[in-house]
């Protein structure tokens, strides 16, 4: 058996955590370390591939960690990393089933995602320098992220033919090869119009590309490339919040819910296979309501 068991899958997961979820470098390193420790254990009991890992293997590993005197918080963090990893593998279609699904997680790991207020979204969207080709493009990207709730990996893969400004929709190619049609608002359409007519031709310089958003190298964006671009504006914005590309997705869903959109409609636009995933945003909105109550009620 190779001494780099599961290394490819773990490296892909680390890339996802950095580029898609925007987690801090130390957090990514910590999760990677936990997973490589698991990989060593699985190799020692002669599990030959990630497809052959069972729920029992994982439970035995966690029990062995506990017996070695590892504190409960560390075991809980380890389990959280493992569950995230296997969910990622299912989403990427490396695995068909999530073997961690029935392994209970401590409630303390149910962390509500950071969201932006409408005013904060406006502030971030105003950051690109519209006198440059990059600024025009970046504004269009940020507008499209917030308008559609797409993941950055999905946005990177949007092609010109997928976008229909006349109808006001974009076809998104999501996880599991599922397609969904998402409405695009007027402001995002206006920003995309400016980009398509003024900025994109300056990037391509007579060449052609099937992709909607292109880089200065005339190629499509990678997930990491888009994350780096967005992160640059996040640093300028500050505001004391941890903003990632996913923050736009969370804000999109939360603002729709707060303004009365039906959960099933939000589910369709986000591309969630199960309504239970979308229902998570009802908890986010409840937290927002509770914070407002605490701030303004005289006896809160």
Q: Which are the catalytic amino acids?
A: 151, 175, 246, 249, 272, 281
C-alpha gyration radius of the chain: 21
Two structure tokens written together for 160 = 């010109």
Strand partners, 159: 211
Two structure tokens written together for 5 = 């068991």
Measure the CA–CA gap between 133 and 214, rounded to whole angstroms: 11
Nearest CA-CA partner of 19 in 227, 179, 273, 218: 227
Which stretches within the chain are classed as H helix? 7-19, 25-44, 55-67, 72-91, 118-125, 133-148, 152-156, 186-194, 200-204, 223-237, 245-258, 263-270, 275-278, 280-296
Cα 105 off chain centre by: 21
Residue 152 near residue 20, CB atoms below 8 Å: yes
Task: Work out the number of other CB atoms within 10 angstroms of the CB of residue 74.
Answer: 12
């Amino acid at each position: 058996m190779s001494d780099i068991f599961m290394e490819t899958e773990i490296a892909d997961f680390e890339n996802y955590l950095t580029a898609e979820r925007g987690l801090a470098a130390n957090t990514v390193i910590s999760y990677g370390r936990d997973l490589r420790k698991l990989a060593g254990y699985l190799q020692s009991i002669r599990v030959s591939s990630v497809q052959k890992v069972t729920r029992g293997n994982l439970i035995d590993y966690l029990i062995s960690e506990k017996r070695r005197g590892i504190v409960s918080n560390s075991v809980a963090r380890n389990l959280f990393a493992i569950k995230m990893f296997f969910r990622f593998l299912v989403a990427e279609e490396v695995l068909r089933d999530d073997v961690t699904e029935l392994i209970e997680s401590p409630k303390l790991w149910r962390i509500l995602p950071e969201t932006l207020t409408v005013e904060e979204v406006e502030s971030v969207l105003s950051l690109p320098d519209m006198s440059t080709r990059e600024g025009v493009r970046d504004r269009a990207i940020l507008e499209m992220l917030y308008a559609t709730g797409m993941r950055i990996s999905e946005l990177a893969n949007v092609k010109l033919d997928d976008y229909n400004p006349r109808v006001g929709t974009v076809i998104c190619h999501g996880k599991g090869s599922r397609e969904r049609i998402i409405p695009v608002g007027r402001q995002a359409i206006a920003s995309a119009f400016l980009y398509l007519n003024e900025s994109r031709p300056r990037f391509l310089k007579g060449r052609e590309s099937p992709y909607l958003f292109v880089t200065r190298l005339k190629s499509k964006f990678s997930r990491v490339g888009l994350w780096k671009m967005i992160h640059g504006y996040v640093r300028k914005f500050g505001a004391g919040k941890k903003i990632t590309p996913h923050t736009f997705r969370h804000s999109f869903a939360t603002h729709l819910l707060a303004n009365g959109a039906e959960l099933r409609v939000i589910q369709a636009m986000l591309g969630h296979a199960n309504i239970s995933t979308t229902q998570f945003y009802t908890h986010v909105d409840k937290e927002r309501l509770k914070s407002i109550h605490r701030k303004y009620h005289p006896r809160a």
